[in-house]
Amino acid sequence: MAGLDGVISDVGAMNDYVIEATPDDDPVIVIGHSIGSALSIYTVAHVEYKDRMKTLITVGAFSYYRDIAQEVLSKSWLFWLFQWPLSFTVSNAYDPLESLALISPVPACIMHSENDEMIDMYHADRLFVTANEPKSFELIDSNHSTVFVTKDNRQVLFHYQKTLRK
C-alpha cells in the first residue's frame, strides 16, 4: 500500500494490537496530535471494538485534508500561486469531519490553541460542532509543536483524564 492508505492500515494494526494486549477491563484512550489526530479520528470511527474505547483526544487537529494542504502551501512563496490547484490533488478519502461524526458513543475531546501557527482554530471549531455527544473542548495555550512542554497544558490533559475515571 502506498501513501495514506498504508498509514491508515498501520494505525489500524497498531490499534488492534493495543486492544488485544490490553485486559478487557482496562480502558483504551486514543490520543493523536496534528495529522495523528486525523488518523486517530478515522481509525476510532471505523473500529469494531468501540465498546473498549474510553475516549478519543485530538490535539491540534485539522478538519479537512484539502483545506490544510491549501493552507500549508499558501505559506510558501514558492507554492503560493499553486495552493488551490495543488490542494485538489490531496485525497479526502479519510476525511476527519465525516469520521468524527461516526465515533459516538466514544467521547471526543478536542484540544486546541489559538496560538497554533500551523492549524487555525476554525479547524477545532468545525470538529467540535461535528462531534456527537459526549464531547468536550479544551482550550490550551501553545504553539503547534510544543503542546505538552508547559505544565499548564499537561494539567489540562491530566484533569480531563481524571474526569474520565468518574
pLDDT 10s digits, 56-88: 999 999 887 767 666 766 777 666 566 656 656
Task: Give residue limits of the domains in the chain.
Answer: 29-161
Distance CA 98, CA 115 (A): 26
Is the pLDDT assigned to residue 43 strictly greater than 70?
yes
pLDDT at 2: 54
Is the pLDDT assigned to residue 50 strictly greater than 60?
yes
pLDDT at 1: 42
Distance CA 127, CA 146 (A): 21
Mean of all residue pLDDT scores within the chain = 84
DSSP states along the chain: --HHHHHHHHHHHHHHHHHHHS-TTS-EEEEEETHHHHHHHHHHHT-S-GGGEEEEEEES--S-HHHHHHHHHHT-TTTGGGHHHHHTTS--TT-HHHHHTT-TTS-EEEEEETT-SSS-HHHHHHHHHHSPSSEEEEEE---SS-TTTSHHHHHHHHHHHHHHH-
pLDDT at 49: 86
Mean pLDDT in residue range 126-135: 94
User: Given pLDDT bands bounded at 50, 70 and 90, which one contains residue 93?
Assistant: confident
User: What global pTM score does this model have?
Assistant: 0.86
- Per-residue pLDDT of 10-27, as tens digits, reads 888 998 899 899 998 888
Is the pLDDT assigned to residue 3 strictly greater than 80?
no
Is the pLDDT assigned to residue 132 strictly greater than 70?
yes
- 29-161 placed in CATH 3.90.79.10: no
Residue 105 φ/ψ, nearest 5 degrees: -95, 10
